[in-house]
Structure 1
Amino acid sequence: MLESLLVPTAIVALAEIGDKTQLLALILAARFRKPWPIIAGIIAATLANHAAAGAVGAWVGSFFSDSALHWILAASFTATALWTLVPDKMDDDENPARRFGPFLTTLIAFFLAEIGDKTQVATVMLAAQYPHLIMVIIGTTLGMLIANVPVVLAGNFAADKLPLTLIRRLAATAFFVLAIVAVYSAMKASGWIG
């Protein structure tokens, strides 16, 4: 059960490095200068978005064998590794009007920004892989917080000082390693290796 929490936490925290939602957190922190409502909005949006993604993943997981899920997971880790190497940019239309205040603006913006994002895709795949859906959702939410709360609290200082290219490369390497482990697990589940 602990694995259902820790693996999603690490995977989503890595996937968030340099992601558009991290840029969004920075923009919201600079705009509102009220970190706690922004953090609360991130939590609420992530729980809602990842609960929906997790439900889809659990449903998808019921249709595939363990072997097939390992192969799908390996492919998704490889895709996420490649995706991580490409820096995200914010679209101007992803920011709701300031009139909603920091909490509601963050809630809406984060929920919308996560639709189809690599962390949402990862949540679907992890929920398909692990039997403890609630732990997966808590883990993916913790991963989002690990990556985004420091950005909200540090504001512009963090964006200017962190070597994001190096961090993205290290995160991509971690995803490639996870893909290799998933391929090994798939081969083992398929009976190709002992």
Structure 2
Amino acid sequence: MGETNGVDLSSGPGGGFDSRWNRAAARPRGLFMEAILTSTAVVALAEIGDKTQLLAILLATRFNRPLPIIFGILVATLANHALAALLGAQAAAFLDSHVFRYAVGASFLAMAMWTLIPDKLDDEEAPKPRFGAFLTTLVAFFLVEMGDKTQVATIALGAQYQSVLWVTAGTTLGMMIANVPAIFLGNELLKRVNLATVRRITAALFLVIGLWVIAQTAGWL
């Protein structure tokens, strides 16, 4: 079938590792825009009410220093999501096949169900303010984000688009869009937002992406 959304589905000699990555530089700009816009929207919605957003509110309350907290979230997210996107892209490069593409689609469907479950920040996950606002935020956000649904979504997006730079840029932007207002508005933001509606919208977005990937892999689109 050739290359579909940045993932080479061909099984012939031209579908090897080197040719995939050589063609990456020549991908159309529209694909990069799709990667960054989709990543931004998915993560921004998934982050609302997520435990990392609750962590941002907690840190803002404890330190009352918005700028170091924002910078800590930015650095932690860039590091965490770059690794996650790289993992997804490398997995797609080495395991490129119809089976893997179906697995990527299924992961988005699983994310749709996971998103419907309300999140909370456990007491043991709350950081102890032994260091300054920036370092505490950096370490806490990086650790709490491990295995979180936004990190898992980043892995799946990295596998889908095989573009570490643009996926990381999009997911990081999405995290900042969701968390910066939370830092300044605190729990008032969560009171004003209907979290159940946001979860349904996010789940629907994951569902559409998952079905789209599966339909493309099956040759229906």
Q: Tell me the TM-score normalised to structure 1 length.
A: 0.91
Q: SS state of the match for residue 99, structure 1?
A: coil
Higher helix share: 1
Please tell me whether residue 7 in structure 1 is matched to residue 38 in structure 2: yes
Q: Contact (CA 8 Å) 1:69, 1:129: kept in 2 or not?
A: no
Question: Could you tell me how far 1:66 is from its partner in structure 2?
Answer: 5.4
Distance 1:60 1:178 in 2: 19
Question: Could you tell me how far 1:79 is from its partner in structure 2?
Answer: 0.9
Q: Determine the structure 2 residue equivalent to 1:133.
A: 164
Provide structure 2 residue ranges, at least 5 long, that are not aligned to the other structure.
Answer: 1-31
Please tell me whether residue 85 in structure 1 is matched to residue 116 in structure 2: yes
Distance 1:17 1:156 in 2: 12
Q: Contact (CA 8 Å) 1:50, 1:137: kept in 2 or not?
A: yes
Question: Could you tell me how far 1:160 is from its partner in structure 2?
Answer: 2.0
Q: Determine the structure 1 residue equivalent to 2:216.
A: 185
Question: Could you tell me how far 1:45 is from its partner in structure 2?
Answer: 0.5
Q: Determine the structure 2 residue equivalent to 1:113.
A: 144
Distance 1:181 1:113 in 2: 30
Q: Contact (CA 8 Å) 1:30, 1:156: kept in 2 or not?
A: no
Q: Determine the structure 1 residue equivalent to 2:47.
A: 16
Please tell me whether residue 48 in structure 1 is matched to residue 79 in structure 2: yes
Distance 1:43 1:140 in 2: 11
Q: 1:37 aligns with which of 63, 68, 71?
A: 68
Further displaced range: 75-84 or 93-102? 93-102
Q: Contact (CA 8 Å) 2:74, 2:176: kept in 1 or not?
A: yes
Q: Contact (CA 8 Å) 1:4, 1:131: kept in 2 or not?
A: no
Greater radius of gyration (CA): 2
Distance 1:108 1:85 in 2: 27
Further displaced range: 173-182 or 73-82? 173-182
Distance 1:14 1:67 in 2: 29
Return the letter of the residue paired with 1:89: K
Cα gap change, 1:153/1:65 in structure 2, threshold over 3 Å: closer, same or farther?
same
Provide structure 1 residue ranges, at least 5 long, that are not aligned to the other structure.
Answer: none
Q: Contact (CA 8 Å) 2:48, 2:198: kept in 1 or not?
A: yes
Question: Could you tell me how far 1:69 is from its partner in structure 2?
Answer: 4.1
Deviation string, structure 1 residues 120-174 (Cα, Å, up to 9, x no partner):
1111121122132111111111111111111112112112222111211121122
Question: Could you tell me how far 1:87 is from its partner in structure 2?
Answer: 0.8
Percent identity over the alignment is: 52
Q: 1:103 aligns with which of 134, 138, 143?
A: 134
Distance 2:90 2:213 in 1: 20
Q: Determine the structure 1 residue equivalent to 2:154.
A: 123
> CA RMSD of the aligned region, Å?
1.6
Return the letter of the residue paired with 1:5: I
Q: Contact (CA 8 Å) 1:70, 1:185: kept in 2 or not?
A: no
Q: How does 1:145-160 map to 2 (within 5 A)?
A: 145-160=176-191
Question: Could you tell me how far 1:34 is from its partner in structure 2?
Answer: 1.5
Return the letter of the residue paired with 2:150: T
Q: Contact (CA 8 Å) 2:42, 2:202: kept in 1 or not?
A: no
Q: Determine the structure 2 residue equivalent to 1:142.
A: 173
Q: Contact (CA 8 Å) 2:49, 2:190: kept in 1 or not?
A: no
